[in-house]
A and B are shown apart, each in its own frame.
Chain A
């Protein structure tokens, strides 16, 4: 089934007990304050806990993600920011022994509801990883088209439509001019930065509503990093972007909103400007000013 952004679904699916849980969460964890010009919330975690076996990697995180914005998640290594990201497209559960408690509401519907399949969630919430992951057996074109080929028969584009989508995706990632003459060549022949942009193009080809980026520039050189940052900046109007990064300058440069995590907890979230100039929590300030992390 597909997820649709209708209010009726929202009401029908939310269990009654949630209202109580929500207010409890409000009291315990900081929430995004309503800012002037705030967008619709298209994605929200509600008291989310993520476990690896007995280890609780994400603790009671409630985070609202506004549509059409870039939200950065920062925090020291091992603070659970990648795990949080992986809960949002149900990748966390693919790790043996991992489980999730709480809710992730996407367009008002809980993606962990029993009626929602992980596959449909991942088709709407794309992801790009720390290291480029082109499929080595596929050509550049087939890599970009990989997500289209597996769509259900009715939704699968024709060959000509696929070519158009591939070109569009490669143009959006500024890769078209570099690879248009060798679309049938192996994708592993590309440079690291090109491979990462190819992975972003692959994620964009299925037109996801949300794009999750897990330290997308961690393995790239400064020039490639800059290109990916510019790319994210250009994509912000079309796709809601959630980016995990180690690099605070990067978070400051790219994001509209920033969330700070520490030891699995969400400490503070707000507009990036405010977070970097006047954080409310002393721990946020300590991290941002480089006193630890």
Chain B
């Protein structure tokens, strides 16, 4: 726009050789707008680049795993037992089942305790016990997993002089509990107070209000939290080295050492045998896909027809 077009009658007189006030203002506005537009583009570019870089590691890892381990990923990998080095065609059936067992044991212990603790924190949010538990749970969440493993070894393996799947499951449950506790608390807090009041006003006892209305409404969100926790422990190696120990043979007994994918990958990857190393890559790919599937399931759990929670 030109300044002449909108020259107002009251504008200050034009200085000889200078610009009018309006012209100067228009020029400075145009400069500011240009600067803002450039800043906008630059910042948008930087943040998009950061967003891309954030997903790059996963893409690289996935591509690398498919390239290195894809060829070993045969039907036999899922159904056969490990073979001695040099013999072709072994599989990781025992480790896959073992990981499933460990997840089952950890979930059976970790989910009820975690959800119960989360419900307590949400219901009694300002009590001294709740504040303490919340803090300790955050500390536990930040605890290095190797420390948990050593602790579980001292408590559950040494007294019995025996590595066991149960000890491994308990160590993993200890990792799960703080995650599930906090997820449950957050989700229950999302349930509007009005819903709780509606139940109480109908004559619901407090326990039925908490379980039948509040917890049930938050359940899809809690399921998501639980699945995220499962995905998180599925790949844990450190707590298992001292507890479940690993097993070259088929075992379903909770009182015997048991194989697990992450440990098998670790063991195979540190050998000089090409067969085993290729299988380690394949194992890593299976583990990644497993975690991916669990995460997808978590997303679907939030999209349930009834209830709140998630986005």
Contacts and interface: CB of A to CB of B under 8 A. Distances in A.
Interface of A: 89, 91, 94, 96, 119-120, 122-123, 126-127, 129, 131, 133, 135-138, 146-147, 150, 186, 188, 199, 202-203, 206
A186 B306 contact: yes
B220 to A, nearest CB: 9
Given A94-B197, A129-B194, A131-B194, A136 B308 contact: yes
Contacts of A146: 199, 202
A23 B133 CA distance: 52
Given A135-B217, A186-B305, A150 B203 contact: yes
A96 B126 contact: yes
A291 to B, nearest CB: 33
Interface string B299-311: 0000001111000
Contact of A129 (B197, B305, B308): B197
Dominant secondary structure at the B interface: helix
Most buried by B among A127, A135, A202: A135
B213 interface: yes
Interface in B263-311: 305-308
Most buried by A among B126, B202, B208, B217: B202
B204 interface: yes
B201 interface: yes
Interface string B171-206: 000000000000000000000101101111111110
A127 B204 CA distance: 13
B194 A202 contact: no
B210 to A, nearest CB: 12
A136 B217 contact: yes
Contacts of A131: 194
B188 to A, nearest CB: 13
Contacts of B201: 89, 91, 122, 126-127, 129, 203
B306 A137 contact: yes
Contact of A123 (B126, B203, B213): B203
A206 B203 contact: yes
22 contacts: A91-B197, A91-B200, A94-B200, A122-B203, A126-B201, A127-B201, A129-B198, A133-B192, A133-B198, A135-B195, A135-B198, A135-B199, A136-B195, A136-B306, A137-B216, A137-B307, A146-B199, A150-B203, A150-B205, A150-B208, A186-B306, A203-B202
A83 to B, nearest CB: 13
A122 to B, nearest CB: 4
Contacts of B305: 186
Contacts of B204: 119, 150
Contacts of B194: 129, 131, 133
Contacts of B203: 119-120, 122-123, 147, 150, 206
Contact of A136 (B197, B202, B307): B307
B127 to A, nearest CB: 10
A137 B305 CA distance: 9
A268 to B, nearest CB: 28
Contacts of A138: 306
Interface in B104-129: 126
A197 to B, nearest CB: 14
Nearest to B192: A133
Nearest to A91: B201
A147 B219 contact: no
Contacts of A122: 200-203
Contacts of A119: 203-205
A150 B199 CA distance: 10
Q: Which 7 A-B pairs have the closest CB atoms?
A: A133-B198, A123-B203, A127-B201, A147-B202, A122-B203, A137-B216, A137-B306
A24 to B, nearest CB: 32
Nearest to A123: B203
Contacts of A126: 201-202
A122 B204 CA distance: 9
Given A91-B201, A133-B195, A186-B306, 13 more contacts: A91-B200, A94-B197, A122-B203, A126-B201, A127-B201, A129-B194, A129-B197, A136-B195, A137-B213, A147-B202, A150-B205, A186-B305, A199-B198
A91 B194 CA distance: 12
Contacts of A120: 203
A126 B201 CA distance: 6
Interface in B55-97: none
Contact of A133 (B197, B219, B307): B197
Contacts of A188: 306
A135 B197 contact: no
A202 B202 contact: yes
